Structure 1
Amino acid sequence: MSSTLFGFSDDFDVIVIGGGPAGATAAGLLAKRGHRVLVLDRERFPRYHIGESLIPGVMVPMEELGLVERMEAKGFERKYGGTLVWGNNEVPWNFSFTTGGRIPYAFHTRRADLDALILDRARELGAFVVEDATVKDTIEEDGRVVGVRYALRGLNGTREARGRMVIDASGQARVVGRKYTEVNWNEQLRNVAVWTYFDNCHRLPGDEWSNILIEGTADGWFWGIPIDKGVFSVGYVTRSEVATASDKALEDLFVSELATTTKLKDLLRDATPAAGYRSARDWSYTQDRFHGNGWVLVGDAAAFVDPLFSTGVALATLAASTLSKVVDKVLRHPEIEEKALDRYSAAYQAFFHDIRQFVEGFYDRSKTKGFYFNMAQDVIDPEKKNDAEVDFVKLVSGLSGKAGGLFELELDDLVADATPPATAG
């Protein structure tokens, strides 16, 4: 085994591309299981990222990583539900996570702080982390991915690292996915978002104090996220074609549409701008395949859905938690790799499909609150075992339906089938 300038071998059990929530979760949990893991990220943490509002599903992998108390100690704002101005009569309505099951809250966070917290925990658990490292290509031998070539900022040339499995958690960069599979864009969710931050914002009243606010407008919707004290993240989402057809710049469109809101405008009545504007577009997609010979995708590298219900981090870390169990089993029983990753892929896609199907339907704002509850029930509970409102909250919490298949993936039968029976002595 060769030595690098970092003083450790360049041979690993697993190489993880990307140190965001998905990559750091997978790396930390694999290291916790005794595997030698390398994480390569092109950024230097902490680094800015959008997606500050979380849902209760994220608490499952955070518990596994031992991070819940640290999240509390960081002072992240607890999030108990949501307030919506949505539907055919535009009367505000609320939902509470307590309705949906065992995890009654999540958090609003500054993502720079959250992502650094998870990546630092991966280090503590034994993963090797190299930042400012840009993966340039995969290394293949006999049709199998066996490692990566990467460049370090400020240094000439590339370096190599080899691993028995490569996990692509590179987010929307989709480093491995771009090379080995195709992306399918969701035409119904081709949207553009523009967002900024405000200080000195008012809060929603009473039990809604820390709710995320989602308010529909004629051609889109706004989010309002209370991040810290009086600071709000405020974003506007609309169809890409609407933004393109407008004669206004995205920032001007944001301002003009904000003036048409009711609740959000009131919360910002005494607020002052605290940042410039950022934007993103066309982010809802699914990769054709989630795995291949020696590689597997997780998080936004595999799929991403519209941010309407803040599902991104939860889906990414939940899938990463499951993937860590699958890869652990594959490393110990290489003969089950293809079938095990097939099961992971199928369960992940089913979970993702539930969320996407619901979000697509929810964008029809001509309906009533009861219609949306029933739609959630049709997606995750067609036998109507629960009340429709319970099903709605379970779905928007990330703790629903086919998620059980993802969280409780069984592989022992594959191991048993692949292991020759013992012969009598």
Structure 2
Amino acid sequence: MSALIGVPEEFDVIVIGGGPAGSTTAGLLAKRGHRVLVLDRERFPRYHVGESLIPAFMRPMQELGLTERMDKRGFERKYGGTLVWGNAQVPWNFSFIEGGTHEYAYHTRRADMDSLILDRARELGAYIIEEATVKGPIETEGRVTGVRFTLRGTDGVHEARAKLVVDASGQARLLSRKYADITWHEELRNVAVWTYFDNCERLPGDEYTNILIEGLDEGWFWAIPIDKGTISVGYVTRSEEAGKHASLEAMFRTEAEKSTKLKKMLAGANQAAGWRSARDWSYTSQSFTGNGWVCVGDSAAFVDPLFSTGVALATLAGSTLSKIVDQIIQHPKIEEQALKRYVTAYRGFFDEIRSFVERFYDRTKYKEFYHSLAQEMVDPERERTPSADFVQLISGLSGNHPMLTLTIDDLIDQEGASVPAQN
């Protein structure tokens, strides 16, 4: 085994994966003075779907000091959305400003955005090794104490060790796959097929920067403006429905012809990329943590992309996890109880979004029903209007959720040792 030039072999934390979840976790831990290693199998920038973001994403970006840089990079601000959903197919809109503290998020090419976050983690002091493939964990007396990895273009296997290993490897689930099964969410066993178009007509007036979500009888389309006349367009439907078509591409074309607003946007457009697809992706890992390891982002759970929650959930979890791990490193005795709190908050936040998405999939209702459903979930005391509750929920900023307010101060006494957990 050979050492890498200038890279130590002992770290406070190793993060597997340099996507938004991993780079947010690593960057904020490095900002707190910890020695962090990030390993990613790709060389950034690299392609990833998920170009539309929600306001909850802005919180961890503020912590990282990236919000002004996103504007300077020319990422297009997203102020809300346009839906053709229920309501007898009458379009309706929402505006993020109604839901809380952040009035906008962004649409962006994920290759550019993900590189921006990873570069910020590097700038904050994290060691970043790209083109590194993690082969598996190192275990010492039943605890994960590091990882083995290979480096593209070199022979041999390298080792790195740490006090804690974070699995942010996305749907590869490099550690969680080894130590835990997943639960598929049957109501959301869907297929998506998508591509990109140039020379598209944009939505009119105040809707210009909106994401379009257009529901049809058997599925729904997204249309995300990325820049100028380029949009990402995808169709999502049940797995069994997709099987009725000759191909996913044929299904896309057939269903696009049934659309209204989307069809108008695509009238003079030309396809500018190939086809991509994904299926059966809504799941939850049965364990988010174990002895010496913890999950964040898609390695823990992923929900249907209806409201573009994936990146926001991943980076919010990364922010929360960085605070927890910072305290665990200082006070190792609290590890088990502290990570349990993180997992409980993370599962609760995820399940709230998943439950809403599952119930929102009933496209027979009116917008007032969806607004009331959101209020029932996040504001049962009815302190705000139903429409404000709806926007707050789909913004990822649903009130005083533990995911946004989690503390573990009571687990640490004045001397920095653990205290008995409260039942």
Q: Is TM more than 0.5 here?
A: yes
Alpha-carbon contact 1:3-1:10 (below 8 Å) kept: no
Partner amino acid, structure 2, of 1:407: L
Q: What does the per-residue CA deviation read over 1:267-312, in whole Å, with 9 as the maximum and x for residues that have no partner?
A: 1111111011100001100001111111000000100000000000
Q: In the alignment, is the contact (CA less than 8 A) between 2:27 and 2:126 conserved in 1?
A: yes
Answer yes or no: is the 8 Å Cα contact 2:169–2:298 preserved in 1: yes
- Residues 140-289 of structure 1: pairs in structure 2 closer than 5 A: 140-244=139-243, 246-289=244-287
d(CA) in 2 for partners of 1:216 and 1:8? 51
Q: Which residue of 1 aligns with 2:304?
A: 306
- Give distance in 2, aligned partners of 1:369 and 1:149: 51
Match of 2:407 in 1: 410
Say whether residues 1:13 and 2:12 are aligned partners. yes
Listed one character per residue, the Cα deviations across residues 3-30 of structure 1 (whole Å, up to 9, x for unaligned) are 8222221100000000000000000000
Q: Which one-letter code corresponds to 1:90 in the other structure?
A: Q
The residue identity in structure 2 corresponding to 1:414 is L
Q: Percent identity?
A: 66
Counting only pairs closer than 5 Å after superposition, residues 5-404 of structure 1 correspond to structure 2 as 5-244=4-243, 246-401=244-399, 404=401
How far apart in 1 are the matches of 2:5 and 2:371?
54
How many matched pairs? Answer: 418
TM-score, reference length from structure 2: 0.97
Could you give the per-residue CA deviations for residues 240-270 of structure 1, whole angstroms, max 9, x where no partner exists?
A: 11112x1320001001100000000001111
- Is the Cα contact below 8 Å between 1:3 and 1:9 reproduced in 2? no
Deviation at 1:401, TM superposition (A): 3.8
Q: Which consecutive unaligned segments of at least 5 residues does structure 2 have?
A: 419-423
Instruction: Tell me how far apart the structure 1 counterparts of residues 378 and 132 of structure 2 sit (CA, whole Å).
Output: 41
Q: Which amino acid aligns with 2:242?
A: A
Mapped to 2, the partners of 1:368 and 1:251 lie a distance apart of 31
Letter in 2 for 1:257: E
Contact kept, 8 Å, 1:26 with 1:324, in 2: the verdict is yes
Query: Runs of 5+ in structure 1 lacking a partner?
Result: none
Distance 2:5 2:114 in 1: 23
| Deviates further, 309-318 or 149-158 | 149-158
Quote how far apart the aligned CAs of 1:134 are: 0.7
Structure 1 counterpart SS, 2:413: helix
In 1, Cα distance between equivalents of 2:66 and 2:4:
31
Deviation at 1:398, TM superposition (A): 0.5
Shift in alpha-carbon separation, 1:195–1:302, aligned structure 2, 3 A: same
Contact 1:347 1:405 (C-alpha < 8 Å) held by counterparts: yes
**Residue 76 of structure 1: CA displacement?**
0.5
TM-score of the superposed pair, with normalisation by structure 1: 0.97
Q: Supply the distance in 2 between the matched residues of 1:291 and 1:372 (Cα, whole angstroms).
A: 34
RMSD: 1.3
CA distance in 1, matches of 2:404, 2:353: 15
Separation in 2, partners of 1:395, 1:213: 18
Distance in 2 separating the partners of 1:97 and 1:420: 43
**Aligned equivalent of 2:421:** none
2: distance between equivalents of 1:150 and 1:3? 12
- The CA distance in 2 between the partners of 1:141 and 1:323, in whole Å, is 23
